[in-house]
Structure 1
Amino acid sequence: MSRSPKARPHRSRGAFTLVELLVVIAIIGIMVGLLLPGVQAAREAARRMSCSNNLKQIGLAMHNYDNVNGCLPPSALGIRVGGTTRRPVHRGGLTAFVSILPYVEQDALFAEFDLNADAWAPQNETPAKKTPEVYLCPSMSLPDSGGTPNGYSSYAISTGTKKYRNQMHNGAIVDAMNVFQSERVMAGISEALSWLSWVDVDDISNADGTSNTLLAGEFGVQVRETSSLPFPYPGSGGQSAGKWAISYPYHSSASTFGSFNAKTISLFDIPSYESFRGPHAAGVQFVLSDGSVRFLTESVDAVTLHRLTSRDDGEVLDKAPW
C-alpha cells in the first residue's frame, strides 16, 4: 500500500505590499524635498565662491597693470582720431578687460587682438567671442545665442556715479582718451574740466582710499520688459548681458546712475542699462580698489553707494552699513 506524500508546509513570500511601497516612496520623496534646498544652497555657495575668486583675479590683474604702466587700464582702448599732443581724442575701441589679459594668464588670446582696431573690426571679431573663464560667473545663465560663441561676460568696470557718456568719470576707471569729451561739454561741463586724465591706484589711495572705492563688479543678465511695445523688439526675449571685449554701449562698463541690481527693468529705463547687477540672491559682488572682494546687498542706501563709487569725494566709510 503506497503512502500519500506529505503536504509541504506553505511558506509566505517576504514581499512588500503596495501600501508599503507607496509609504516608502513617499518617505523618500519627503527626504529628497528636505535635502534638495540644502544641496542647491551648497552648490550656489560654491559658485559664489568661484565668482568671488574671478573678481579677486581681475583686481590683482588691474594692480599688476598699474605697476607696469603707471596707471589703471582705461575703459576703452581708444583709436586716435584727433586732438592735440596733450589732449588726444580717440574713438572707442577694445576694453580694459582686453588690456589685462596678460595678467590673467591669457597671453595667447591677447596676441590675437589688433589693439589699433575696435572690437567690430574683422580681425577682432573672433577673439572677442572667446570669453575667458575668469570673466564668467558660474551662476550666470547666458542669453540664448543659438549655440554660437557670443563674447558675453559677467563683470564690468566701475566708471562712476553718472551716465557713461556725459559724466566726469568719478569712478576708479576712466575714459582717459576722451571718447565722449564733446558730449560732456554738451552736458554742461566746462571745456577745461571736460578733458580727462589717467588715474592710478595712488590717486585713489590719496583721495578716498582704495578700500572705499569700487573697482569692478558683477554685470549679469538683465531683462528689459517689452510687452507694452506695439512692435517686436529684437534680441533674446528682451535679455541683455555685458560683453568683455566691446567697450560701448553698456557692454563692459557700469555705473550707479540707475537702479542698483536692476535685473528686470522697463525698456525705457535707460539709466539702469548700465547698472551693476548679479545672479546671486539679494546683492552684487565687487572687487574694491585695494583688491578685496565684498558682497554689496541690494538694500544699500543711495548715499553709501554713491560714496563707494566715487574715487575722490573724500568720504571714508564704515563697512558696517554695507
Structure 2
Amino acid sequence: MQLNRKAVTLIEAIVVIAIIGLLIALLLSAIQAARMAMARASCLNNLKQIGLALHTYHDQNGGLPPRSDQNFQSSNPDTHLSFFALILPQIGETNLWNSSVEACSIERNSYLNPPHIGFATPIKIYSCPSDGRLASAVTLKTGQKAAFTSYIGCMGSLERKVTDKRTPNRLNGLFGSMPGISFDDIKDGLSETIMVGERPPPDSYEAGLWYPSGHILRAPQKGPNEFLGIPSLRTLFDQQCHGVQEKYQEDRLDNPCSRFHFWSLHKGGANWLFADGSVRFMAYGNDDILRALATRDGGEVVESP
C-alpha cells in the first residue's frame, strides 16, 4: 500500500519559524528581566551591608562617621577619608583600613597613590552589579588609577533650614557634617530619614570616588563624591552644569551632569538606604517626598511610597 505524504508548504514553514523566533525572543526577554531583578536585589543587599556597617560604627563611636572635627593639617583619617573608607573595619576590610591610617600619617592628600592604595582599590559592596565598569579600577584621563562607587550619602535638603545650631558646619541630612550625626539628632524618625542612595558615576568619571573625603578643598576632581543634597546646589558653581534641573529621574552615563542627582541603572527607580537600616526601592518622580525624607529634623509629615 502506498502512503500519501503531504509536504510542508512554504507558508507553514514561515509560520513555524516565526513561532520559534517569537519563543526565543520571549525567552531572551525573560532571561534579561531575571538578570535585572537579580542585579537590583544584589544592589539592595549591598546597601543593607553598608547600613549594618554604619550602625556598627555608630554603636562603637556614638555617631556616624566622621567621629571628630579635625583641621586639614592633621593626619587624622576622619579629616581626609570618606565615610565609605571610615567604615572599612566594619565591612571586614581591616587590612586596607590599617594601610589607609598609615597612609594618612605619611601623606594628607588622599588622592595620592602611593601611599593611599585605597584610592585605586575597588570594594565589591560599593558597586552595583548593574554597573560592570566599577568592578576594577578605572584609568582616568590623567593616567591615574581610581576606584569608584555606585552609592553616595545624603547631606539633606538644601531648600530647608538647618535647625541644629550647635556647630556652624552641621547640615540637615546625615552626611556632610563634622563631626558626624548621632541617631539622637534624627527627630523625624530613623525609618523616615534617608542615609544613602544610588548615583552611578558618569562616563567622564568626574564624580563617584569612594575613598577621599568630600570635605577636601581644591580636589583635583569635580565631584560630588561622598555626599549629595536633594537638590544639589553644586550646579550653581559648576560652569558646565549651571542651571541644570536636578530631578529624581532616569539619566544617561554619557551625561556628565547626571552626577548632580540621585538615580540608578535599574529600570524605573533606585534603591535607598534609610537610617533604620532598611532599604527600599523608590520609583522616579517622588521629588517632594525625597526632599522631606532627606532631612533629619525637618518635622515633615510624609508617607514614603
| TM-score range relative to shorter protein | 0.7 to 0.9
TM-score, normalised to structure 1, is 0.70
Structure 2 match to 1:281: 267
Residue identity matched to 1:202: D
Q: Counterpart amino acid of 1:63?
A: H
CA positional deviation for 1:132: 1.1
Distance 1:251 1:153 in 2: 9
Are 1:300 and 2:286 counterparts?
Answer: yes
In the other structure, the counterpart of 1:291 is 277
Aligned pairs for 1:162-181 (under 5 A) are: 162=158, 168-176=170-178
The answer to whether the 8 Å contact 1:78/1:92 transfers is yes
Partner residue in 1 for 2:295: 310
Superposed displacement of residue 162, structure 1: 2.6
- Tell me which residue corresponds to 1:28: 20
Distance 1:91 1:105, change over 3 A: closer
Residues 181-218 of structure 1, C-alpha deviation per residue, up to 9 Å, x if partnerless? Answer: xxxxxxxxxxxxxxxx54111221xx111111100111
Superposed, 1:181-260 pairs within 5 Å as 197-204=179-186, 207-222=187-202, 236=203, 238=204, 240-248=206-214, 249-258=223-232, 259-260=246-247
Counterpart contact for 1:119–1:246, Cα < 8 Å: yes
Choose the corresponding residue for 1:110, options 97, 101, 120.
Answer: 97
Structure 1 residues not aligned, in runs of 5+: 1-8, 83-88, 177-196, 223-235
Residue of 131, 148, 154 corresponding to 1:152:
148
1:294-313 Cα offsets, whole Å, 9 max, x none, are 112211142x2221001111
Partner Cα separation in structure 2 for residue 76 and residue 18 of structure 1: 78
Which residue of the partner structure matches residue 161 of structure 1? 157
Q: Secondary structure at the match of 2:20?
A: helix
| Paired amino acid for 1:49 | A
Of 82, 101, 124, the residue aligned with 1:133 is 124
For residues 78 and 53 of structure 1, do their structure 2 counterparts lie closer, same or farther at Cα, with a shift above 3 Å needed? farther
Rg larger for? 1
Structure that is richer in strand per residue = 1
Q: What stretches of structure 2 of length at least 5 have no aligned partner?
A: 160-167, 215-222, 233-245
Report the Cα offset of residue 57 of structure 1. 0.6
> In structure 2, what is the Cα distance between the partners aligned to 1:10 and 1:266?
69
3-state SS of paired residue (1:160): coil
RMSD: 3.7
**Cα distance, 1:38 vs structure 2:** 1.8
> Could you say which residue in structure 2 is the equivalent of 1:81?
73
Would you say how many aligned residue pairs link Structure 1 and Structure 2? 265
Indicate conservation of the 8 Å contact 1:92/1:118, yes or no: no
C-alpha distance in 2 between matches for 1:76 and 1:246: 16
Query: What SS does the aligned partner of 2:154 have?
Result: strand
CA contact 2:209–2:225 (8 Å) conserved in 1: yes
